[in-house]
A and B are shown apart, each in its own frame.
Chain A
Amino acid sequence: RKEVEQDPGPFNVPEGATVAFNCTYSNSASQSFFWYRQDCRKEPKLLMSVYSSGNEDGRFTAQLNRASQYISLLIRDSKLSDSATYLCVVNGEGAAGNKLTFGGGTRVLVKP
């Protein structure tokens, strides 16, 4: 089982619609959580951190469920520019020290 798992998609989303997707993680000792956005052939860029109480940044809402070990991202009023791969990232301490683990990414395509 992968440490961080995501549905690879693609999620085909009409412009203006809402899309949501999850990520599950296996290490219950994980300490911090993030969503990154990666455009084709570019580096990942931090979208938002994910807090236990849930947090919102404009059209983006992130939730963390520690009991079930999953993280979610919801995008409201999708824009064409939201088309990208969204990477779930978990930061925790393992046997080899601190470790940042990425999921494989969820591809989102927003269409007119």
Chain B
Amino acid sequence: ETGVTQSPTHLIKTRGQQVTLRCSSQSGHNTVSWYQQALGQGPQFIFQYYREEENGRGNFPPRFSGLQFPNYSSELNVNALELDDSALYLCASTGQQNYGYTFGSGTRLTVV
């Protein structure tokens, strides 16, 4: 059984650029959610997808957008990057929400 994999592991971007982060869900998981974790803080919920439809969103501006594909893999897109977007971005998947989520090891994004 493969876990949740994310790519890339590290990324450096310039302010104003756009970035796409990718996530492959654990086998059999149809729900994926994305989080932003700044240094020293808990993860902040960005949004969640269930069967290719967004079914939950946190307090993030529209320049944070996502997609889920038929194979349940997912993308997080961030437009017009700002310095404060520098963080660890985590993807997590689950087959049943009451049973908890499995996290990928994250993508560390640095915006300069």
Listed in ascending order, the chain A residues whose CB lies under 8 Å from chain B are 4, 6, 31-32, 34, 42-46, 49, 87, 91, 94, 96-105
Contacts and interface: CB of A to CB of B under 8 A. Distances in A.
A101 B58 CA distance: 9
A31 B104 CA distance: 24
B54 A97 contact: yes
A102 B35 contact: yes
B41 A104 contact: yes
Contact of A42 (B42, B58, B105): B105
Interface in B42-63: 42-45, 48, 50, 54-58
A102 B48 contact: no
Contact of A49 (B50, B57, B99, B103): B99
Contacts of B44: 102
Interface centre among A6, A45, A97, A103 (most CB of B within 10 A): A97
Contact of B106 (A31, A43, A102): A43
Contacts of B109: none
B110 interface: no
6 contacts: A42-B105, A43-B103, A43-B106, A46-B101, A97-B57, A99-B58
Interface residues of B, number: 26
B105 A43 contact: yes
A4 B45 CA distance: 12
B68 to A, nearest CB: 14
Contact of B103 (A44, A98, A99): A44
A104 B57 contact: no
Interface centre among A6, A43, A101 (most CB of B within 10 A): A43
B56 A104 contact: no
Contact of B48 (A31, A44, A100): A100
Contacts of A31: 98
A98 B41 contact: no
Nearest to A103: B42
A100 B103 contact: no
Given A98-B55, A99-B45, A102-B43, 19 more contacts: A32-B97, A32-B98, A44-B90, A45-B103, A46-B100, A46-B101, A46-B102, A49-B99, A87-B42, A96-B57, A96-B58, A97-B55, A97-B57, A98-B50, A100-B101, A101-B45, A102-B35, A102-B42, A105-B41
